[in-house]
Amino acid sequence: MKTKAQQLNITEFPFIIKDENGNKIYHEYLTNYWIKNEFDKNSNQIYFENSNGFWIKSEFDKNNNELYHENSDGFWIKNEFDKNSNELYFENSDGVIEDNRH
């Protein structure tokens, strides 16, 4: 499968595409290695993928706190925050749990 740069006959690298907020949503190098990103309306990175097949997905609350994070290696994190963005709960796939809820 051709990369975006190959499809567009791009010859100058790195080849970068940005969204309307200036976030890099596609980045490709001369070696054909590429990175794709997606961002929410607050410019939080909600998706990352590279040409090696590695990916990361994240979810954020209205205060830009990361609530959930998982990657293609199977690692994940869950968080809860109060209205002041103080972390109340943390858990990850390694079995670590920190519970500060009352």
pLDDT tens sequence for the chain (102 residues): 899 999 999 999 999 999 999 999 999 999 999 999 999 999 999 999 999 999 999 999 999 999 999 999 999 999 999 999 999 999 999 999 999 998
Instruction: Say if residue 102 is in the same domain as residue 59.
Output: yes
First to last CA, the chain: 53
Question: Structural domain of residue 36, as residue ranges?
Answer: 1-45
pTM, two decimals, is 0.90
Q: Are residues 38 and 72 in the same domain?
A: no
Six-digit token string for 93: 């796939």
The total of structural domains in the chain comes to: 2
Q: Give the whole-angstrom CA distance, residue 44 versus residue 36.
A: 14
Same domain for 21 and 59? no
- Residues 8 and 39 reside in one and the same domain: yes
Tell whether 96 and 59 lie within a shared domain: yes
Whether residue 29 sits in one domain with residue 4:
yes
Do 36 and 68 fall within a single domain?
no
